[in-house]
Amino acid sequence: MSTTTETDSPGTAPAPAGGGPALLGRTRGRWLLLAAGLVLALVLPWVIYPPVAMDIAAWALFAVALDLLLGYAGLLSFGHAAFWGGSAYVAGLTALHWGLPFPLAALAGAGFAMLLAWPIGVLSVRRSGIYFAMVTLAFAQMLYFIVNQWRGLTGGENGLQGVPVHFFGLEAVETDAFFFYYAALPLILLGMWFAWRVVHSPFGRVLVATRDNPARARALGYDVERYRILVFVISAGLAGLAGGVFAISHGFVSLQEVAWQTSGKVVLLTVLGGIGTLWGGIVGAIVIVILEDQLASSGFEGIGIITGSVFIAVVLLFRRGIWGTVSDALARRRGERPAAEAVSAADGEEGL
Amino acid sequence: MNDPQDTVGPPGSRTVALSARGLSKEFRGFRAVKDVDLDVVEGEVHALVGPNGAGKTTLFNLLTGYLKPTSGTITVHGKDITGKEPEQIAHEGVARSFQITSLFDNLTPREHLELALQGMAGGGMRFWRSDSLLRRHRGRADELLEHVGLAGLAERPAGELAYGQKRALEMALVLALDPQVMLLDEPTAGMGREDVDRTIELVRQVAAGRTVVFVDHNMHVVGSLADHVTVLMSGEVLARGTYEQVRNDERVVAAYLGEDTHA
């Protein structure tokens, strides 16, 4: 009498079909995609002016870093310029004054970004939604004013000029943007691999749970704030790595890197590409950086109008961004359910 | 056997699993819960009943840390947990379910349970390891799914489950925490008769060796399961005792105006 009545239990519907072959297909698809991405990364400076290729790679990592926070933790930071730009200054200063090889300078910048992110994260993860965005923006603006005021160190509004590239005396890398790209690419790819590792870890699983239903995650014994602080710090570190490489590749650090427009631009790139996929940020970076470069070199003044219009069009027409829309369409053509791991920004806010 | 008033005050030889003293919660001047004393004896099934707005869910949220009391104390097995966070209370062996089904729509039932089991076992912060680590909980997860009758649906996204199945998963999640004290907020809310009977049977099974506190409007459920009943009214304890005792209590009858017969 006390045993479960299995015949009329609620779960008598058959299990969903499609285990093996579909899964295999998806795994192979992922490997193909990864291979295609790597090939693209390797040929990029052959088809695009190498410094622009470097910009794309750096912005792509920056967008991936933001996606880790926005897409997987559901937290919209509007202050990520603090980590990208803060690291850019640290990387620039250590290369300039200590002659650090550029990978170490970029890593030092990333380390600084993480140290900076810790207290900011602790103070801002108590809020979510628009409040989180505003608190992070406020902290980023504080850094902007410090950088602007501390002229002796940062050069104020003139920026930090004459940042050298040191790379163990390898002259090709130190002087030629084409070779620099290949020297810096491993750092970028390492950062992207790390983001992928985080997403597909036990931590990543919990993170998605805290995004979708924080109250329930707490009932299961997870301290949601700790998870949010940690992902904030990781995201800042990756944003810092990208900013450090960007600064060295340009040979100077401008005040623009810590300005709110930079925070806005990375949100734009990520949402445009599609959040919650990691690939989306890469696509967004390719589209926007190339678009801006084309418009700038044609002497067009109103770049912001064009990128803004593209952004509005994509958000209105394709809520899941470029990547999300394309991958959904492909999944539907193969007769699968669209990937569940990707969500729109609005869905991420519904948790509580 | 015992006088109903005996459940308050010194419990004597019986061990009190969950206890509240003078618990109050005020929202901007409105006192949703007023000076509530509650003693849940270890191993019993204790029902909280009362009309809508009586403060049942507020009391639940206070007991599980989702709300902080304005005054009063809460203890679990004698340990003060007043003011602790929900996740800390979960680690103290007190697990709760939610009145409105609260799941992760993108995750499958198996993934839900793996997550819950990891929540208790620890290791969720490991961002440098593969999520295949969660598979170590798969055996236990599948046992729990079997137990609540969801074995055939282990890999379907929770968002696609039928209502009764979601409620069953909700129950499995509470069980996954292997709690000493289970707090079930309206486990049969919105269910048809058949699902209600199944849920009663399930709660009866899992109550063995545990302490259960539940809220329910369905007097059939309360009558079938509860060893003791506490009746709340406007945030205060109106009556307590066995089901038979409170059912015949004239204050309770007056409060419900016979409402207990139709549910």
Reported as a single tens digit per residue, the pLDDT across A189-208 is 999 999 999 999 999 999 99
Distance from CA of A200 to the nearest CA of B (A): 5
Distance from CA of B218 to the nearest CA of A (A): 20
Over 80: is that where the pLDDT of A334 sits? no
Over 50: is that where the pLDDT of B11 sits? no
For chain A, the domain total comes to 1
CB B241 within 8 A of CB B228: yes
Q: Which residue has the tokens 């470097």?
A: A54
CB B138 within 8 A of CB B114: yes
> Residue A17: its pLDDT value, please?
35
> Residue B259: its pLDDT value, please?
52
Give the span between the Cα atoms of B227 and B43, in whole angstroms: 10
Contacts 24+ apart (CB under 8 A), A311-319: A311/A268, A311/A271, A311/A272, A314/A271, A314/A272, A315/A271, A315/A272, A319/A344
Domain borders along chain B are: 1-93+179-263, 102-177
Residues in A closer than 8 angstroms to B153, CB to CB, are: 11, 13, 15
Is A68 within 8 Å of chain B by CB? no
Please state which of the ranges A116-130, A142-156, A267-281, A325-339 shows the lowest mean pLDDT.
A325-339
Q: Give, in order, the Cα–Cα distances in Å from B35 to each of B48, B73, B76.
A: 15, 10, 18
Give the span between the Cα atoms of A124 and A132, in whole angstroms: 6
Which strands form B79-80's sheet, in the order they lie side by side? B30-41, B16-27, B71-76, B79-80
Give the DSSP per-residue string, B146-211.
Answer: HHTT-GGGTTS-GGGS-HHHHHHHHHHHHHHT--SEEEEE-TTTT--HHHHHHHHHHHHHHTTTSE
With b for 16 or more beta-carbon neighbours within 10 A and e for fewer, the A304-322 pattern comes to: eeebeeebeebeeebebbb
Distance from CA of B6 to the nearest CA of A (A): 31
DSSP-derived 3-state class of residue A136: helix
Q: Give, in order, the Cα–Cα distances in Å from A98 to each of A92, A102, A166, A250, B31.
A: 10, 11, 10, 18, 64
Closest CA to B58 of B83, B23, B82, B102: B23
Stretch A235-253: mean pLDDT = 95
DSSP-derived 3-state class of residue A252: coil
Are A13 and B153 in contact (CB < 8 Å)?
A: yes
Nearest CA in chain A to B195: A10
Are B125 and A230 in contact (CB < 8 Å)?
A: yes
Per the structure, the complete domain to which residue A63 belongs is given by: 41-260
* Residue A115 C-beta-side C-alpha neighbours within 13 Å: 9
pLDDT in tens, B204-262: 888 888 999 999 888 888 888 899 999 998 888 888 888 888 888 888 877 775 554 44
Is A20 within 8 Å of chain B by CB? no
Tell me, what's the ipTM? 0.83
Please state which of the ranges A58-67, A131-140, A226-235, B96-105 shows the lowest mean pLDDT.
B96-105
Strand stretches in B88-141, DSSP E: 94-96
Residue count (chain A): 352
> Residue A320: its pLDDT value, please?
83
Over 60: is that where the pLDDT of A8 sits? no
Give the span between the Cα atoms of A292 and A298, in whole angstroms: 10
Over 80: is that where the pLDDT of B197 sits? yes
Question: Which of A19, A203, A340 faces B125 most closely, judged by CB atoms?
Answer: A203
CB B206 within 8 A of CB B95: no
pLDDT in tens, A65-120: 999 999 999 999 999 999 999 999 999 999 888 988 999 999 999 999 999 999 99
DSSP-derived 3-state class of residue B28: coil
- Assign A339 a pLDDT band (cuts: 50, 70, 90): low
- Assign A25 a pLDDT band (cuts: 50, 70, 90): low
Q: Give B10: exposed, middle or buried? Use CB within 10 Å, 0-12, 13-18, 19+.
A: exposed
> Residue A144: its pLDDT value, please?
94
Residue count (chain B): 263
Q: Which of B60, B81, B87 to mutate to test the interface with A (most CBs of A within 10 A)?
A: B87
Give the DSSP per-residue string, A185-214.
Answer: HHHHHHHHHHHHHHHTSHHHHHHHHHHH-H
- The average confidence (pLDDT) of chain B is 85
CATH topology of domain B1-93+179-263: Rossmann fold (3.40.50)
With b for 16 or more beta-carbon neighbours within 10 A and e for fewer, the A231-256 pattern comes to: bbbbbbbbbbbbbbbbbbbbbbbbbe
Residues 6+ apart with CB under 8 A from A8: B194, B198
Is A220 within 8 Å of chain B by CB? yes
Strand bridging mode B79-80 / B181-185: unpaired
Over 70: is that where the pLDDT of A346 sits? no
> Residue A7: its pLDDT value, please?
36
- Assign A238 a pLDDT band (cuts: 50, 70, 90): very high
Over 50: is that where the pLDDT of A318 sits? yes
Q: Which residue has the tokens 């003044």?
A: A301
Strand bridging mode B71-76 / B79-80: antiparallel
- Assign A337 a pLDDT band (cuts: 50, 70, 90): low
Is A113 a domain residue? yes
Give the span between the Cα atoms of B152 and A151, in whole angstroms: 66
Residues in B closer than 8 angstroms to A220, CB to CB, are: 87, 90, 115-116, 119-120, 173, 176-177
